Amino acid sequence: MLYIAMGTLAKEKAVKIVMLGAPGAGKGTQAKRIAEYYKIPHISTGDIFRANIKAGTPLGLEAKRYMDAGGLVPDEVTIGMLKDRIHEADCSEGYVLDGFPRTIPQAEALTEALAAEGTKIDAAVDIEVPDEAIIDRMEGRRSCPNCGESYHVRYRAPKTENICDVCGHALVQRADDKPETVAARLRVYHEQTKPLIEYYRGQGVLREVDGTQEMGEVFEAIQSAALTGPGDWS
C-alpha cells in the first residue's frame, strides 16, 4: 500500500508503473522524476536494447540483426530482454517502464508475464498533450549521442549551449524530432499506442494527467492521481 505520512510518500510493496503518452508528451522526463522519488529504476526500451547489444547477450545479438536489417525487433525478443531486466536486484522494490508497452499485444504479453509471477502493473500514467503542442515541443529537443541525456532549447537547456552537462559531448537534433517526422510518429501513436489507454482503463489502473502544465505541476498531478485516482495502489 502507498500512504502519506508526515507529507512523505512511503511504500509497503514494490511499485510497478507504466508511462503512457504520445512522443514528446514528457513521459520520459516524468518517468525519471518518479524513479528518483520512489527510489526505483527507470527502465526504457532504448536503454535495454543498448545494454543487451553492448553486452552481446543472445537476445541483444538477435535484436541487433533485425535493427541492422532495418526491421522491427519482434515482441518476443523485446519482452525477453524486459523480463530479464525486471528480474535484476534493483527492481525488487518496483520500476517505471518508459516506451513499453507500445501496442496491445505487448501489453497483453506483459500482463501475462507478470500474472505468471502473481503480480501486475500498479499504475499506467497517461500524460495528455495536444498534437500541436507536441510538435512545438519536439522541434526544440536536443540529445547527447554519447550518453543519451536529453535537453530542450527552451524548457531544459544545457548550461553551455549545445553541450551535454553530463559528458561534455556536442548535442544533436534527432531526425525524428523534426516537424514532418513528428507528425508521422503521432499518426503511428494514435493508431497503435493510444488504444493502450482503454486497455489499462479496463484494468482499473489508468491515471490521466494534463501534460500541458509546467513539469513540476505535472509531477505533482501524477503523485495526486497515484494516490487518489481509480485503482489506487493498495
Q: Clarify whether 141 is annotated catalytic.
A: yes
Asked whether the beta carbons of 23 and 129 are under 8 A apart, the reply is no
- Name the CA dihedral angle for 200, 201, 206, 210, rounded to a multiple of 10 degrees: 120
Domain 2-40+93-223: homologous superfamily in CATH = P-loop containing nucleotide triphosphate hydrolases (3.40.50.300)
Q: Looking at the predicted structure, is the pLDDT value of residue 100 above 90? A: yes
- Name the CA dihedral angle for 5, 7, 8, 9, rounded to a multiple of 10 degrees: 70
Tell me what pLDDT residue 229 has: 46
Instruction: Exactly one of 32, 102, 156, 194 is catalytic; name it.
Output: 102
Average pLDDT, the chain: 87
What's the pLDDT tens digit per position in 190-222? 988 899 999 999 999 999 999 999 889 999 998
| Strands 8-11 vs 2-5: parallel, antiparallel or unpaired | antiparallel
Q: Clarify whether 201 is annotated catalytic.
A: no
Q: Which grid coordinates are listed for 2?
A: 502507498
Instruction: Exactly one of 16, 85, 185, 207 is catalytic; name it.
Output: 185
**Strand, coil or helix: what is 163?**
strand
Q: Clarify whether 194 is annotated catalytic.
A: no
Average pLDDT over residues 92-117: 93
Instruction: Exactly one of 16, 27, 33, 137 is catalytic; name it.
Output: 27
Tell me what pLDDT residue 9 has: 38
Asked whether the CA dihedral 49, 54, 60, 65 is positive or negative, the reply is positive
Half-sphere exposure at residue 70, Cβ-oriented, CA atoms within 13 angstroms: 0
Q: Clarify whether 65 is annotated catalytic.
A: no
Instruction: Exactly one of 33, 85, 137, 141 is catalytic; name it.
Output: 141
Tell me what pLDDT residue 138 has: 84
Q: Which residues are bridge partners to 15 per DSSP?
A: 94
What's the pLDDT tens digit per position in 15-58? 899 999 998 899 999 999 999 998 999 999 889 999 999 999 99
